[in-house]
Amino acid sequence: MNRTEIEAEISLLVSQMDSQPEDLHELQLQILAKLNEMRAFGMALPQDLLDLEAQLEAEFSQKKRRSLLRRQ
């Protein structure tokens, strides 16, 4: 798969995050998988995708902490 195809798939997943908030976690995981796929192919990630990755990981960590606090 080439860079343009992967970036198009990431763009589609990001747009689905707005239209399908009930699937947010699954979409986040799919986006992170696509970013890892780019790395596996030796593609450098542009800054906007690195920023997106950091944002998704921060959101995921925050939700995980909230979940753990609720269990206590």
**Domain-by-domain residue ranges, the chain?**
3-71
Selection from 37, 20, 32 nearest residue 59 by Cα: 32
Q: What is the pTM of this model?
A: 0.81
For the CA atoms of 37, 40, 46, 52, what is the dihedral angle to 10 degrees? 40
CA atoms within 13 A on the CB side of 37: 15
Residue 10: per-residue pLDDT: 94
Answer yes or no: is pLDDT of 64 > 80: no
* pLDDT at 52 > cutoff 80: yes
